[in-house]
Amino acid sequence: MEHNETKTEATGLAPSVAAALARATRIAADNDRTWVGVEDLLVALLDAPTITPLQLHWQRCERDAMTYSELVEFAKSLVPGRTPSENVPATAATVTFTATGPNAEEFAEAVERA
CA distances, 38 to each of 21, 32, 41, 92 (Å): 10, 16, 5, 23
Residues, the chain:
114
Asked whether 5 and 100 are in contact (CB, 8 A), the reply is yes
> Which of 19-23, 31-35, 46-50, 100-104 comes out lowest in average pLDDT?
46-50
Q: Give the residue among 70, 93, 85 at the shortest CA–CA distance from 12.
A: 93
Q: Is the pLDDT of residue 5 over 90?
A: yes
Q: How does pLDDT run across 66-82, given as a tens digit for each residue? A: 899 988 998 898 888 88
Q: How does pLDDT run across 94-110, given as a tens digit for each residue? A: 999 999 999 999 999 99
> Which of 7-11, 44-48, 93-97 comes out lowest in average pLDDT?
44-48
Report the C-alpha gap between 73 and 40 in whole angstroms: 21
